[in-house]
Amino acid sequence: MTTKTERLTTRSLERLAKELPEGDEVWDSDAAGYHVRAGKRGLSLRVSYYNLSGKRRVLTLGRYGVGNMTAAKARKDVGEVLGIVAQGGDPRAVLEETKAEEKRQQQQTLGAYLAGPYTAYQNRKKDGVANLRRIEKDFADWLDKPMGSLSRADVERWQAEQEIPKAPKTKGEPPVKPQPRAFGTLKRSYDALCGLLAHAAERKVIPVHPLKGVKLQRPAMSEEDLAEQGAQRRHLEAEEVKALFAGLEAYQEAKRAQRRNSRAHGKTYLPDLDGVAYVDHVAPWILTMYYTGFRPGDLFGLRWDHVNLAFRTVRKTIEKTAHHRSEPQTFPLSTEAVDVLKTWHQQQGEPKTGLVFPSGKHGERMSATAMQKPWAAVRQLAGLPQDLHLYSLRHNFASQLVMAGADLLTVSKLMAHSDIQTTITHYAHLRPDHTRDVVEAFAKAVPRAPAEAADRSDEDAGGPFKVVADA
């Protein structure tokens, strides 16, 4: 095969792009190794050379006319390639390494790691899917960024944008001012992101956790926030407890009346609720939380396998702390709690296994918000304050125990706090003041000094300031 040679200029390249048969090559008459090859998509500009091992290598510079690839640029690139070869380098190896590095960088983007290894990891966890969605949604603008490039400035900018979001663009309608997101919501999303970065760092996908030690800035609390926080973490007064139980009765009676009305109007296939202790799961669920102080999540996940009515205990793994304490914990049940669960157990047909409080719609675990509407209904019927959250029943459980004189270690165990400091921080101020009694008991146990005895005698005789009549 005859080698075709000519100077590769703009004019010649334009002609060759039209005339050169596919697969044929034309070599430049000036620059050694520089040539073009005709292909289906046009002319490929290439350089042929031998590396130090004597192996022939071909480096493609690009396609003529595509991007900024001109005859002048190609000739300039050829000069740089041949210069590297003259110094003993291998230009193609450099290019391959560059591409490999770009691929590694691509694999290290937040989106790639989220969709790959981290999805496999989170799918084995109970709330894994929710964590993945939270990261994908709240950090959508970061998905193409290399994980190692994230910085404190990125976090501060993200938090500011979330706290003061921009109004969406609307056509023909006045813009609706978006609501800033709560700090607690932002922190959950940010913690989920940091969990991903820590996972990548532990597996040496990235050298270090780029946001380690970087925390969100907690905003100053408004007067409304302070008032709400105080309302949430408090105990129920005696009148409120009576109102709560009255509200539960009113809720049940309203459901019974509604059922009677439905049955009277042709829906006789519906079960009669007048003959059962509980019209649905709402009353036993709320009563169980009231008597045990369990978190809502632990009640949603409570199974009959966990409950031992004969021994009056519940033994289960606490969901909130399961990631670092997976072994089950045992909790005693009061007589009232046993009565509630025993009645509900009998009403459910005395099952051996399964959820204690399954969804009435599909029989599976209820969603995290399933009790919000029922609690609002009970609260309204009871005439309780709107700021009395369902979680207040848990705080009431701990508060009443502390005020009754229970030691904080016991309360901490019953509340399943991972650290007793949590119990101390939130409930220690409710302890009865035994300090004065202890000091008085100590003083009475110590013999008085002679001077103290004399002083006490003076006091018995009227005291050191007794008025004496003139002689």
313-339: pLDDT as tens digits: 999 999 887 767 788 999 999 999 999
In angstroms, what CA-CA distances link 295 with 78, 288, 289, 318, 350?
Answer: 70, 10, 7, 9, 24
Among candidate residues 51, 82, 103, the one where a domain is terminated: 103
Q: Do residues 75 and 35 share a domain?
A: yes
| pLDDT tens sequence across 25-57 | 999 999 989 999 999 999 999 999 998 888 898
CATH of the domain at 54: 3.30.160.390
Q: Do residues 46 and 156 share a domain?
A: no
Q: Do residues 210 and 272 share a domain?
A: no
Please tell me the predicted confidence (pLDDT) of residue 33. Answer: 92
Among candidate residues 103, 124, 151, the one where a domain is terminated: 103
Checking if the pLDDT of 460 tops 60, the result is no
At 376, is the pLDDT very low, low, confident or very high (cuts 50, 70, 90)?
very high
The percentage of the chain sitting over the pLDDT mark of 70, rounded to a whole number, equals 85
Please tell me the predicted confidence (pLDDT) of residue 126. Answer: 78
Residue 82 lies in a domain: yes
Q: Do residues 135 and 194 share a domain?
A: yes
Please tell me the predicted confidence (pLDDT) of residue 434. Answer: 67
d(CA 397, CA 329): 18
Q: Do residues 54 and 133 share a domain?
A: no
Residue 400 lies in a domain: no
Give the total number of structural domains in the chain: 3
Checking if the pLDDT of 68 tops 90, the result is no
Question: Mean pLDDT throughout 300-311?
Answer: 95
Q: Do residues 324 and 242 share a domain?
A: yes
Strands 4-6 and 25-28: parallel
Q: Do residues 252 and 347 share a domain?
A: yes
Residue 428 lies in a domain: no
Please tell me the predicted confidence (pLDDT) of residue 170. Answer: 56
| Residues 106/112, Cβ–Cβ less than 8 Å | yes
Residues 98, 89, 8, CA angle at the centre, nearest 5°? Answer: 85
Q: Do residues 61 and 187 share a domain?
A: no
Lowest mean pLDDT among 165-169, 351-355, 399-403: 165-169
Residue ranges making up the domain that contains 191: 110-167+177-219
Residue 394 lies in a domain: no
Q: Tokens 């490039």 label which residue?
A: 149
Q: Do residues 186 and 313 share a domain?
A: no
pTM for the predicted model, two decimal places:
0.52
Among candidate residues 387, 403, 427, the one where a domain is terminated: 387
Please tell me the predicted confidence (pLDDT) of residue 168. Answer: 57
| pLDDT tens sequence across 83-106 | 888 888 888 887 777 666 655 654
Question: Mean pLDDT throughout 166-173?
Answer: 58
| pLDDT tens sequence across 240-269 | 999 999 999 999 999 999 999 999 999 999
Q: Do residues 261 and 368 share a domain?
A: yes
Checking if the pLDDT of 233 tops 60, the result is yes
Please tell me the predicted confidence (pLDDT) of residue 463. Answer: 46
In angstroms, what CA-CA distances link 164 with 189, 218, 222?
Answer: 17, 14, 16
| Residues 249/277, Cβ–Cβ less than 8 Å | no
Residue 252 lies in a domain: yes
Q: Do residues 68 and 133 share a domain?
A: no
| Residues 399/415, Cβ–Cβ less than 8 Å | no
Residue 163 lies in a domain: yes
Residue 16 lies in a domain: yes
Please tell me the predicted confidence (pLDDT) of residue 228. Answer: 45
Residue 375 lies in a domain: yes
